[in-house]
Copies of this chain bind each other. A is one copy, B any other.
């Protein structure tokens, strides 16, 4: 018991001589407390799970994911919590190790999937009876012990659309990856569509599927679109990958950007700096979202409730040389 007191910093419960004896023994034995035994006793595991729903095994390839994970992880680690990471396909959510067994005090999720798959996912989450933080989408369900962390994706879409319309883009194409159904990507489209709708006599916005969102797939999709319907005035990428892919395709065909065709992306993470000319984009607050998510979850664990059931973080437009 005295050792337990020492480990937990309750030094006032013992004499200084005892402190020294205990400290020395700990060093000599190279003792590390067994956190799962402590967890068993206190029913607090000091660990949080993060499940990323993605059809690709490379579930960390996206900059958004890595920003959220590192923001969340750093926040938790600084407070003695551990982060357990797992990538899983949309239909296999229920098979996740973090869901099948009880290993964490709470779970964070980046969901994707729609329709029946999505409903199944929600049923699984409901059964967990664990505090949840859901990134990148707002879940209406009020029976869920959850907090949703989102960015102003709709607004970002509106801002870019307005920016393009001001610069004379009449016919615009939006390149949308569909391998994963991420709500945030569609929110961007909806925002842009909303703005284009108020100029519907003269302006149009068309959604073009670019599959897995790779450079090759995006360029193929855009090339097919151009062949079918001619050159648009602007191409919006639903993310920077799609935007840069479009930019490179257009330039390799000798199209002048932005004079003939304007191009935008979305997210403005590190590799946007690789684009030439620099891509106009919208800065998404990924790292900050991870931090906020961690804060909300620990607040829920310590105080019994989330501060809010939904947090929306601001975006801002990053004007580049492609518009």
Contacts and interface: CB of A to CB of B under 8 A. Distances in A.
Nearest to A58: B70
Interface stretch (A83-91, A133-141, A165-173, A199-207): A83-91
Contacts of A67: 58, 60
A318 to B, nearest CB: 14
A162 interface: no
Interface in A56-89: 57-61, 63, 66-67, 69-71, 73-74, 77, 80-88
Contact of A97 (B71, B77, B216, B252): B77
B97 A80 contact: yes
B97 A129 contact: no
Given A47-B103, A66-B66, A70-B57, A30 B127 contact: yes
A121 interface: no
Contact of A35 (B35, B59, B102, B275): B102
Given A45-B36, A47-B103, A57-B287, A276 B273 contact: no
Interface centre among A39, A96, A216, A245 (most CB of B within 10 A): A39
A17 interface: no
A66 B61 CA distance: 7
B215 A47 contact: no
Q: Which 4 A-B pairs have the closest CB atoms?
A: A36-B36, A60-B66, A215-B273, A35-B101
